[in-house]
A and B are shown apart, each in its own frame.
Chain A
Amino acid sequence: MTYRFDYSWIAEYWPVILKGLVTTVELTLIGTLFGVALGIACAWTRSLGPRWLRPPVVAYVELIRNTPFLIQLFFIFFGLPSLGVQMTEFQAAVLAMVINLGAYSGEIIRAGIEATPRGQFEAGASLAMTRFETFRHVVLIPALQRIWPALSSQIVIVMLGSSVVSQIAAEDITFAANFIQSRTFRAFESYFLTTGLYLLLALALRQALRGVGNKLFPRRAAR
């Protein structure tokens, strides 16, 4: 192979990459926070909530889990404006991530809630807790603890999946890579470098989530 790697552009385009990195991290943070919150709401509805609310939640979860993220993103960014809902690339990207993670994490969290023994609910009730208090204090935290590894993997998957938001011109890492390759014609180098960044980001995110897990569920360490 006679090809020579050429990274002479790196100094000039470093700020672009850094900006992309910040955007990807921001997207992941906001998407995770609201996505998991939505997931908890869905899981609560499906296992404990009012019966009439369950079919719409099931429809939402099935629809999102069986269609590609890219199409969800396009539908939100290109499709919704015809209903009068206009948003920026970043807002559309966040919304798509929240909706996507909400459906997946909802299923994961539901599995955690359904593994809770019935006796726990009864114990909560016998302490005169309301249904909501029982959910909040007795059911949710151990459920989250149980499924934390699965939830962490899903969050990493959503972070990696966010690379397609470059397709609606949200300026993430992939957008930076495309930008650089269009300017320097160094396609392989720019994608190689940014792929490495994603790999580091995935490792860092997994470590961070493990740390958050240990903080949130200190009892696990004690046991």
Chain B
Amino acid sequence: MMTFTLWDILRNLLLAARWTVVLSLVSFIGGGLLGMALLYLRIGKARAGQIFVQGYVELFQGTPLLMQLFLAFFGLGLFGIDVPAWLAAGLALILWTAAFLVEIWRGCVESVARGQWEASASLGMGYVQQMRYVILPQAVRVAVPPTVGFSVQVVKGTALTSIIGFVELSKAGTVVTNATFEPFTVYGLVALIYFALCWPLSKSSQILERKLNVAHRNH
């Protein structure tokens, strides 16, 4: 029988953690872009767009991410597409991330005082100009800390893609456990690696919140 040193275990887990990082980045960036498009509809004037986004958010926030992964994995297959796990994983995570980001950002846009809209309208600005020069610069300031905070949820969400067979940190944890019969050590290390990825994000979200708030108070 082959024996595994602690270093062997850790090295294999760290190699797999690369895929957790890549998938997180893809999901966060893709979800962010889709979220922006949805935000445009959500705060726009068209009623149909608003209802569509509300329904979208309700659907993706009201069902488990795991189910969305399964549906993406098996649903795309119905169209005769041979679905690799990374495609289903990326697609589901992007759709899921967008649903949360659009709600976070909507709150930020709405936190900008009504008077700002009226003031900029009275300067003869159009909707696009109001957004571009008055509302968004203020909303972005409010949006940064919760957006960074949410990225932690995305990193943790990628763990579920192991269930449809994408080999990232969690899947590697299961594989290594099956080889070494040391679940306590392996899952302990897996947890620590996730912690090392997520904790700096959580902390910087908190620090940003404090910083941006202080700036706000001085106004």
B170 touches which of A63, A70, A162, A194 (Cβ 8 Å): A70
In the complex, the chain B residue whose C-beta lies closest to that of A188 is B74
| CA–CA, A63 and B188, complex, Å | 11
- Residues 61-91 of A at the B interface (beta carbon under 8 Å): 62-63, 65-72, 74-75, 78-83
A195: interface (CB < 8 Å): yes
Q: Shortest distance in angstroms between B171's beta carbon and chain A's nearest beta carbon?
A: 10
A55: interface (CB < 8 Å): no
B75: interface (CB < 8 Å): yes
Could you say which residues of chain A place their CB within 8 Å of the CB of B139? none
Residue contact A160 to B64, C-beta cutoff 8 Å: yes
Interface residues on B, range: 35 or more
Residue contact B159 to A187, C-beta cutoff 8 Å: no
B64 touches which of A80, A163, A187 (Cβ 8 Å): A163
Residue contact A202 to B74, C-beta cutoff 8 Å: no
B117: interface (CB < 8 Å): no
In the complex, the chain A residue whose C-beta lies closest to that of B58 is A199
Residue contact B194 to A82, C-beta cutoff 8 Å: no
Could you say which residues of chain A place their CB within 8 Å of the CB of B68? 195
Which secondary structure dominates chain B's binding surface? helix
Residue contact B71 to A192, C-beta cutoff 8 Å: yes
Q: Shortest distance in angstroms between A131's beta carbon and chain B's nearest beta carbon?
A: 28
Residue contact A198 to B184, C-beta cutoff 8 Å: no
Residue contact A68 to B63, C-beta cutoff 8 Å: no
| CA–CA, A208 and B197, complex, Å | 36
| CA–CA, A135 and B56, complex, Å | 41
| CA–CA, A164 and B160, complex, Å | 8
Q: Shortest distance in angstroms between B168's beta carbon and chain A's nearest beta carbon?
A: 11
In the complex, the chain A residue whose C-beta lies closest to that of B62 is A202
A167: interface (CB < 8 Å): yes
In the complex, the chain A residue whose C-beta lies closest to that of B174 is A74
State whether A67 and B191 are in contact (beta carbons under 8 Å apart), knowing that A187-B70, A198-B63 are contacts in the complex. yes
Could you say which residues of chain A place their CB within 8 Å of the CB of B40? none
Task: Count A-side interface residues using an 8 Å CB cutoff.
Answer: 40
| CA–CA, A160 and B75, complex, Å | 20
A70 touches which of B75, B162, B198 (Cβ 8 Å): B162
Residue contact B152 to A66, C-beta cutoff 8 Å: yes
Q: Mark A156-172, 1 if CB is under 8 A from B, else 0.
A: 10001111100100000
In the complex, the chain B residue whose C-beta lies closest to that of A82 is B184
In the complex, the chain B residue whose C-beta lies closest to that of A68 is B159
Residue contact B177 to A78, C-beta cutoff 8 Å: yes
State whether A74 and B183 are in contact (beta carbons under 8 Å apart), knowing that A3-B78, A67-B195, A79-B188 are contacts in the complex. yes
| CA–CA, A163 and B63, complex, Å | 10
A203: interface (CB < 8 Å): yes
| CA–CA, A3 and B160, complex, Å | 28
Q: Mark A1-34, 1 if CB is under 8 A from B, else 0.
A: 1010000000000000000000000000000000
- Residues 165-219 of B at the A interface (beta carbon under 8 Å): 170, 173-174, 177, 182-184, 186-188, 190-191, 194-195, 198-199, 202
B140: interface (CB < 8 Å): no
| CA–CA, A152 and B88, complex, Å | 30
| CA–CA, A3 and B77, complex, Å | 10
Binding site for A on B (CB under 8 A): 59, 62-68, 70-71, 74-75, 77-79, 152, 156-157, 159-160, 162-163, 170, 173-174, 177, 182-184, 186-188, 190-191, 194-195, 198-199, 202
Question: Can you list 6 A-B pairs with a CB-CB distance of less than 8 A?
Answer: A65-B152, A65-B198, A71-B173, A74-B190, A78-B177, A188-B75
Besides A62-B199, A192-B71, A195-B71, 16 other CB < 8 A contacts?
Answer: A66-B156, A66-B194, A66-B199, A68-B160, A79-B186, A156-B62, A160-B62, A163-B66, A164-B66, A164-B160, A164-B163, A187-B70, A187-B74, A187-B77, A195-B68, A198-B64
Which 6 pairs, one residue from A and one from B, show the smallest C-beta to C-beta distance? Answer: A68-B159, A66-B198, A78-B183, A163-B64, A187-B74, A79-B184
Binding site for B on A (CB under 8 A): 1, 3, 62-63, 65-72, 74-75, 78-83, 156, 160-164, 167, 174, 177, 181, 187-188, 191-192, 194-195, 198-199, 202-203
